[in-house]
Structure 1
Amino acid sequence: MHTTRPGGTGQIGALLLTDARLPGGGHAYSAGLEPGLRAGVPATAVPDYIAARLRTVGLVEASATVLAHRAVLETPRGLAAVHDALLARTPSAPLRDVSGMLGRGLVRLVRRLAPDDPAVAHLDALGRTPQRPVVLGVAAAVLGASEEQAARASLYDDAQTVASASLKLAPVDPVDAAGWVLGAEPLIEEMVATALAVTDPADMPATAAPQADQWSLDHQRETRRLFVA
């Protein structure tokens, strides 16, 4: 168990944070795909849905991840400002709740892997619902991953979450789902570069996804569902 931040390239840490087997609660989240399909989005449009998320929600969250990573390494007290900026860009209460649930799972991971790291105390200060992108940035820093690796992990995880959920929600060939994620690589790299260029919480992108926000509100009232959002 690590008590200090590991050295090296951080590549294993970055891979760990994108592993679907990580005990962080991600299996309960479809990144909005379930309510989208219920609303009439055809399964054939899932690649377009992945791309739309990467340009909107994905970019916002990757930017928050980068800023949180920097805050841990420079001024940890700045985490609260990043967290507040992300909350302001997440108007849907159900989506804030889900992000907080996933964030708590990552906090548990960081606390167990690096209990003596000062970043853990700053995560605790964010309250009971620390938003996942902020915790992801902290976790990446603690595990020795770079801010670029953290941004890529955030965006890859978003695309992979949608693709994985599609296998449970629609008649999708797993090979096709894998191809969708691979096909998103150029866009992911573009969004990584954009996220890395953000220098201040006030400048964090506010690319809205109002339809997805509405779907999340509708989904919260559903009594028969596979995913929480």
Structure 2
Amino acid sequence: MGSPELVAMMLADGRLPTGGHTQSAGLEPAVRAGLGTEGSRLSEVADYARDRLRTVTRVEAAVGVVARAAALNGEQLTTVEAAWAARTPSHVLRAASRRQGRAYLRLASRVWPEVLKHLQPDIEIARPVVIGVVAAVNDLSAEQTARLIGYDDAQAVVAASLKLLPVDPAEAASWLAALHQPIEELIRAVAELTDPDDIPAYGAPLIDVFAQAHAAERMRLFHA
């Protein structure tokens, strides 16, 4: 077990096998659909990341926080995963999250074997559930857990924009800095949750539509 702050920084590192170099947080299909494709509309990337923080990412952060509480209390995580699945209508997004969760679990079981006290090895389970368990075994607070999930999603969008659009890296950094306040708002909204029934059910239908289209693409830069 290491410093909770350093563990959070490690998990937010885009160079991890589960990091942002494989995931665009749905930005790639959104760009294919026209988001930010004109130079005067590049700021739509930041708007897209902000909208995610208010909807699908808030749900994921809540799931991570509740999964952390369940792991600390020795409760079943299948109930948390079921609550997440009920709030994730796209089967493509459910499958993508579970594959990413499996990758997170394989990584975590090597670095923090204590996670296997809570999860069976090499299973497909939602990514925020695994993050919640990793947070529990490393003494991350609920706030740190939510901040990790919020930041990770925002930085995945911003990092992907550098590969998908003609974005100045300095401008991309300014977008991410401007998202700090929405991330803190997300934390305040979910940090006190412990019951799977209290996980919010915010949705973003266009993100679901984009994901469905992306799954059928034969040439993709990002997995999702």
Partner of 1:76, secondary structure, is coil
1:34-84: CA deviations, max 9, x gaps? 11111111233001001000000110000000001111111232x111111
1:112 equivalenced with 2:110 (yes/no): yes
Partner Cα distance (1:176, 1:209) in 2: 26
| Alignment partner, residue 31 of structure 2 | 37
Name segments (4+ residues, structure 1) moved above 3 Å: none
Residue segments in structure 1 that go unaligned for 5+ positions in a row: 1-5
Contact 1:25 1:102 (8 Å CA) reproduced = no
| Alignment partner, residue 39 of structure 2 | none
C-alpha deviation, 1:121, in angstroms = 3.9
Partner of 1:28, secondary structure, is coil
Report sequence identity in percent.
Answer: 47
Partner of 2:119, secondary structure, is helix
C-alpha deviation, 1:113, in angstroms = 1.7
Q: TM-score, normalised by structure 2?
A: 0.92
Match of 2:154 among 148, 155, 159: 159
C-alpha deviation, 1:128, in angstroms = 3.0
Partner of 2:118, secondary structure, is helix
The 10-residue stretch of structure 1 (190-199 or 32-41) with the greater mean CA deviation from structure 2: 190-199
Contact 1:106 1:135 (8 Å CA) reproduced = yes
| Alignment partner, residue 215 of structure 1 | 210
Contact 1:57 1:207 (8 Å CA) reproduced = yes
Match of 2:194 among 182, 194, 199: 199
The 10-residue stretch of structure 1 (94-103 or 61-70) with the greater mean CA deviation from structure 2: 94-103
The 10-residue stretch of structure 1 (155-164 or 28-37) with the greater mean CA deviation from structure 2: 28-37
Residue segments in structure 2 that go unaligned for 5+ positions in a row: 37-41
1:136-186: CA deviations, max 9, x gaps? 111122222212111100000000000000001000011111111111111
CA RMSD of aligned residues (A): 1.6
Map 1:1-229; keep pairs closer than 5 Å. Answer: 6=1, 10-24=4-18, 26-42=20-36, 43-77=42-76, 79-115=77-113, 117=114, 119-124=115-120, 128-229=123-224
C-alpha deviation, 1:25, in angstroms = 5.1
C-alpha deviation, 1:227, in angstroms = 1.2
Q: How many residues align?
A: 219
